[in-house]
Structure 1
Amino acid sequence: MAGDTKTKIKNYQTAPFDSCFPNQNQTRNCWQNYLDFHRCEKAVTAKGGDVPVCEWYLCVYKSLCPISWVAAWDDCRAEGMFPGKI
């Protein structure tokens, strides 16, 4: 199973269809994958694990989210003013 995930990440081109976000507007999908990546990264790091487990979320949010949004969210997280729960 882990090998299958690594193969999917290696061959990744764009976000696949997610039935949780069936509409054309993918803003919420972008937001959710950004949060999921940082939650995963936080949890894995706390347990002393390997962060590449979270790469799927990273690939998805990078393909869905505008760079300016990600930059703004990263700045907010650095300042401690991020509105999402990570």
Structure 2
Amino acid sequence: MLGIDCPKPKGRWPTAPFDPRFPKQNQTRNCYQNLLDYRPCVKRMRRRGKSTQPCEYYFRVFHALCPMSWVQRWTEIKDGTFAGKI
């Protein structure tokens, strides 16, 4: 595990809002970018001793856009071996 506890989904999850950086129909890059935004956000907030609640936006978006098999595989990767730059 990455040392980042992912919150469990609560209630209804709306679809991800439009992101002008990813205007095309294929949302794979949007999914991946939100994952890359989520992990350092959580790391930064914990280091500052603040709530990670603002990072929940990224969590909800990448969970809404990414297939669950990808999310499970990405959360099982050990520290220091993830393909993204953090």
Tell me, yes or no, whether TM beats 0.5. Answer: yes
Alignment TM-score, normalising by the size of structure 2: 0.80
Q: Which has the higher helix share?
A: 1
The structure number with the bigger radius of gyration is 1
Change (3 A) 1:28 1:13: same
Q: How many residues align?
A: 76
Q: Indicate the RMSD between aligned Cα atoms, in angstroms.
A: 1.6
RCO (CA 8 Å, sep 6+): is it higher in 1 or 2? 2
TM-score by length of 1: 0.80
Structure 2 unpaired stretches of 5+: 1-10
Q: Return 5+ residue gaps in structure 1 as ranges.
A: 1-9
Runs (4+) of structure 1 exceeding 4 A deviation are none
CA spacing shift, 1:16–1:41, aligned 2, 3 Å = same
Identity of aligned residues (%): 49
